[in-house]
Amino acid sequence: MAEEYDLVVLGGGTGGYVAAVRASQLGLKTAIVESGKLGGTCLHKGCIPSKALLRSAEVFKQTKEADTFGIETSEPTLNFFKVQERKQSIIDTLHQGVQGLMKKGKIDVFEGYGRILGPSIFSPSAGTISVELNNGEENPMLIPKNVLVATGSSPRTLPGLDVDEQYVMTSDEALSMEELPNSIVIVGGGVIGIEWASMLADFGVEVTVLEYLDRILPTEDKEVSKEMTRLMKKKGIKVVTGAKVMPETLKKEDGIEIQAERKGENQTYTADRMLVSVGRSPNVTNIGLENTDIETENGAIKTNKYYQTKESHIYAIGDVIGGMQLAHVASHEGIIAVEHMAGENPMPMDMEQVPSCIYSNPEVSSVGLTEEQAKEQGYEVKTGKFSFKAIGKALVHGETDGFVKIVANKENDDLLGVHMVGPHVTDMISEAGLAKVLDATPWEVAHSIHPHPTLSEVMGEAALAVDGKQIHG
């Protein structure tokens, strides 16, 4: 069977299905090829399930602290089976929603594994998609005018730290745990590692984080990393930086034992289980790239600013092209790619306007340049910083740790970056994102009236603090 399309999307994750919806809105006959479930990693093995678990951990922690709010109750009991049930219910609800979007947009969904074919009887150029259907039926041939590769990424591990699910796991396996370990070693202190460390500590697990670099969250502003180190230790998490894990020393018997070299000495760490959290690798193998002229760099597909590959009718977005591996980035890339192939004139994405979020407790969010990056780029900077300790709503919530830091250009007052640690800051970063898009100054942010009492007041105070004009600090 052969069928023609304006667009075939390889991968039905967040980037892929959003791109398909936009293509449908633009009148393109569109199909998605997905070997798993629509929604991809983000919905089934990433963003959504991990945040569901984080929320349960937060509620468990808050319940144990209820007495501080004048609520007396017996010691809460964690039913992890119900925690996982709730997580799955959220996933199922959202999955049904994505399926509904496909029907609404009249987007054909092929459940199977798609591969790009080279020039053939179907097309003089590479791009025909052969679909190995999950049900074993004959492979359909999809003949598109354009292809969008949105195959995502997979958890990376270290040689010698092979996943066995019983003792060593990645975030994929951790999300499906039937019971919590008493203790865990997390290899990697980046975004995913710190989210899991925070969550598991709030669930009552003894956590050790081993980070190779000299600080956790190394892509964040240094002051943010320092504050998060303090707050993770405050939770009882053992944070070890400058630790070179030695996979060859791994022992597995009634738990794990592993050594890490630190400051010239080998130190031994033991726990019930190990979580390897050292990044993700683009899914570029076995999708037919060898049948095209598409180029890769450091394992990721190379594209231009409109996400075209070297084969101009084949586009690629999301984790498979590297860069900021974030769901909202993939979605926006997908929209730009589809609008470009449809002859629209989309504005390329400015990565300095992309917010990033870490859903630990407390949360972290940022947009734009860190103070260190700004100085490296030659800016003379001025900064404003304001603590949640002086924000009334934070005191009401009982969550006063953290701050907002604003980095500005001393020469012309342009906003260069905003960095947040504290309660609900992932919900507050969009104001900073809009300020970046509008090329606002701290003065303009400060003169946007922030209602009282709200957590958002910290943004206005931090903006005033850039020029030493903060009111409550």
State the average pLDDT over residues 458-464: 98
- Ramachandran class of 217: left when φ > 0, alpha when ψ lies in -120 to 50, beta otherwise: left
Average pLDDT over residues 111-129: 89
Local confidence band at 276 (pLDDT 50, 70, 90 cut-offs)? very high
Instruction: Provide mean pLDDT across the span 169-187.
Output: 97
- CA-based nearest residue to 217, from 240, 247, 194: 194
Q: What does each C-alpha distance from 183 to 49, 223, 231 come to in angstroms?
A: 21, 29, 19
- What is the predicted pLDDT for the residue at 126? 86
**Which residue among the candidates 332, 397, 419, 452 is catalytic per the annotation?**
452
Q: What distance in Å separates the CA atoms of residue 321 and residue 149, rounded to the nearest whole number? A: 9
**What pLDDT does 125 receive?**
81
Please list, residue by residue across 164-200, b when 16 or more beta carbons sit within 10 angstroms of its beta carbon and e when fewer do.
Answer: eeebbbbbebbbebeebbebbbbbbbbbbbbbbbbbb
What pLDDT does 273 receive? 98
Mean pLDDT, rounded, of the chain: 97
> Based on the number of CB atoms within 10 Å of its own CB, is 337 exposed (0-12), middle (13-18) or buried (19 or more)?
buried
* pLDDT class of 2 with cuts at 50, 70, 90: confident
Residues 153-176: what's their mean pLDDT? 94
Which pLDDT belongs to residue 5?
Answer: 97
328 in catalytic set = no
The answer to whether 309 and 298 have CB atoms below 8 angstroms apart is: no
pLDDT at 282: 97
pTM for the model: 0.96
**What integer pLDDT is reported at residue 119 of this predicted model?**
87
Query: Confidence band (pLDDT; 50, 70, 90) for 329?
Result: very high
Contact in structure between 205 and 183 (CB atoms under 8 Å) = yes
Q: Is the pLDDT of residue 297 over 80?
A: yes
pLDDT confidence of residue 1: 75
Span 321-345, average pLDDT: 97
Q: Is the pLDDT of residue 232 over 90?
A: yes
As a whole number, mean pLDDT of residues 85-111 equals: 98
